[in-house]
Amino acid sequence: MRERDTDPPIFSLDWLGENGVQIAIILAVSLLIFAMAKLAVRRMRRRLEGIESLTQEMNLQRTATLTEVVSYAIRVVVWTVATLMILGQLGINLGPLLAGAGIVGVALGFGAQNLVKDFLAGFFILLENQFGVGDQVEIQVLGKELSGRVEALDLRTTEVRSFEGTLHTIPNGNIIVSGNRSRGWARAIVDVGVAYDEDVDRVRGILEELFEEVRREDGFKDAFFEGPKVLGVEQIGEKDFVLRVIAETRPSRRPGLESELRVRIKRRFDERGVKVPASAG
């Protein structure tokens, strides 16, 4: 007569005594790590939201996106590791599972490498605050340079509307170099052509007098960080010479101030009889 199989059940009291406690510890530690990570992310979010910005609404949107991405990444890592450790305690052989997951991961990596590249690039654009919605930017993309105003920005793409109105949608992973015209200060540059036979020192004096008046006007008291001032003679031609005028101002005001300075200079030259190349005999 054949003896009965007397192997103990998988989930016996002995098994629970040996492995149940370890599984409980794994879950407890995972919950603790996850809670601490959430607390750190929450503090990071409060700190980022506390930074004053001219575009506060866009800054809050950027902060929310960053914290959501970090929270999701932490959640995936913590619970993936915890699940694998629990499966190991259950006696499941993880070798084939990890090998299969590795093969699938490699296949997905080849197929989605551009997508991953875009998301990583977008994450660091937001994290480093390289540019934001509303900024005037110059972006080099695969040997081509695009310039315009940023109209939308997320983890995968950046949308830039050029001066003539074309909306360019750029994968963030394709951005090689970016320049931001809307941060800090900008330099207004006005080149003034004057007839060759005019006296340089006289013209410089007329311009400096004009700029002193402009700086005292109510509408321009806070417009300039420095200048406007005559930098010097930029170019000498057969019938004229060119004086370069510079001023440091806010990026958003640079085009308007350049135009206004040209108008003021033209009027003052007309008043003082300063000849320009078009009227030089």
Q: What is the pLDDT along the chain (281 residues), one digit of tens a residue?
A: 445 455 545 555 565 666 667 777 777 887 888 788 777 777 766 666 555 444 445 555 566 666 666 776 777 777 777 777 777 767 666 666 666 666 656 555 555 677 778 888 888 887 777 887 778 888 888 778 888 888 888 778 888 998 888 898 888 888 888 888 777 777 888 898 888 888 888 988 888 888 888 888 877 777 787 878 888 888 888 788 888 988 888 877 778 888 888 998 999 998 888 888 764 44
Tokens read off for 101? 């997951």
pLDDT for res 74? 77
Complete edge-to-edge strand list for the sheet that includes strand 157-161: 167-171, 157-161, 144-153, 136-141, 175-180
Global pTM exceeds 0.75: no
Distance CA 42, CA 36 (A): 10
pLDDT for res 56? 46
List of residues 6+ apart from 210 with CB closer than 8 A? 264, 265, 268
pLDDT for res 47? 66
pLDDT for res 229? 86
Distance CA 56, CA 33 (A): 32
- Helix, strand, coil percentages, rounded to 5, for the chain: 55, 25, 20
Distance CA 203, CA 58 (A): 46
Tokens read off for 138? 């110059």
